[in-house]
Amino acid sequence: MAPIITVVTVCYNSASTIQRTLESVLVQDLSGIEYLIIDGASTDSTIEIINCFEDRYDGALRLISEHDNGWYDAMNKAIQSAEGNFIVFLNSDDYFDKDALSIVKNVIKTKHLSNDCIIYGDSTNIYQNSKGNVLYRRINAPDQIDPKDRGLRKGMCGIRHQSMFTGKGVFNSVGGLDLQYRLHADWDFLIRCVKKGIPMYHIPQNLTYYSMNGVSTKSNYNERHELRKNNGLYDGIDWDYIRDRWGLKTTAKRIFGEKRWNDILFSIHEKRESSSISLL
């Protein structure tokens, strides 16, 4: 019988972070779970750390280590190799919340969902400043996304691919990740799914913790512009591109530098979280 869910971790030289990811999967209910790790032929101790966990997974963990053509190429390899009915991508510096997989499996079972849909939950952003202080901020995903939703022009509408369980049939229908995008292929994939009318089910619970210091949080303004253009997300002028390039946040980052700007953002989020707590 095919696994219910394949958890995929794509990694390369992730020795400093991958142990926490491995542990967060290991403590889940692993019945009906396949854990597939796609490594890009790491040269540090990543493989040794993974091998130390292999016996503890009792056959649920499968490792493929070979050279690839980048992050999204490895993810496409995982889609082809995965045996589960649903696939979720958990980065090597992110981790699951407690019972995340049990929650999703229960939704699949009780709603009798086939693998032609997407199930997604909420996520928690992890911020870290230059002093090493850490802040957690919950991001609630929307209950539904309309193809005309303006939020799609800006990004993934609060949905993280780490909390997005995509049915194998969806990839058969929509295709995989488009390798012309270096940083935003997951956003492009979500847009194609929404425009095609793929059924989507929101679980209003936190499923994953997402590092805001990883590669996937970076942005490329020209790539974002091309993505909006290729998906027909604007008419005439791409105003979001103008805001990307010359908006207040971009200008502030140029003035202060990325490191200082990240510390400023950390302080802003810290004050917001403190304010929201005091109001409860």
pLDDT single digits (tens) 145-180: 988 888 899 999 999 999 999 999 999 999 999 999
HSE at residue 96, side-chain half, CA atoms within 13 A, is: 25
Which residues are within 8 A (CB) of 15 and not within 5 positions of it... i.e. 6 or more apart? 42, 44, 45, 46, 49
**Cα(132)–Cα(65) distance, integer angstroms:** 32
Q: Which fold has domain 5-218?
A: Spore Coat Polysaccharide Biosynthesis Protein SpsA; Chain A (3.90.550)
Number of C-beta neighbours around residue 231 at 10 A: 16
**Cα(276)–Cα(196) distance, integer angstroms:** 38
Q: Strand, coil or helix: what is 251?
A: helix
The predicted-structure confidence for 56-101, as pLDDT tens digits, reads as follows: 999 999 999 999 999 999 999 999 999 999 999 999 999 999 999 9
Task: Enter the tokens of residue 272.
Answer: 């917001």
**Cα(26)–Cα(29) distance, integer angstroms:** 8
What per-residue confidence (pLDDT) applies to 275? Answer: 54
**Cα(120)–Cα(101) distance, integer angstroms:** 12
Domain extents for the chain?
5-218
| 242 close to 103: Cβ distance less than 8 angstroms | no
Q: Strand, coil or helix: what is 19?
A: helix
Residues of the chain with pLDDT under 70: 214-219, 273-280
Q: Strand, coil or helix: what is 179?
A: coil
**Cα(211)–Cα(237) distance, integer angstroms:** 33
Q: What is the radius of gyration, based on Cα positions, of the chain?
A: 19
What per-residue confidence (pLDDT) applies to 218? Answer: 58
Task: Enter the tokens of residue 212.
Answer: 């805001």
Q: What is the dihedral of CA 205, 215, 241, 147, to 10 degrees?
A: -30
Q: What is the dihedral of CA 178, 180, 185, 190, to 10 degrees?
A: -50
| 53 close to 46: Cβ distance less than 8 angstroms | no
Which residues are within 8 A (CB) of 230 and not within 5 positions of it... i.e. 6 or more apart? 188
Q: How many H-runs (helices) and E-runs (strands) does the chain carry?
A: 10, 9
**Cα(224)–Cα(78) distance, integer angstroms:** 25
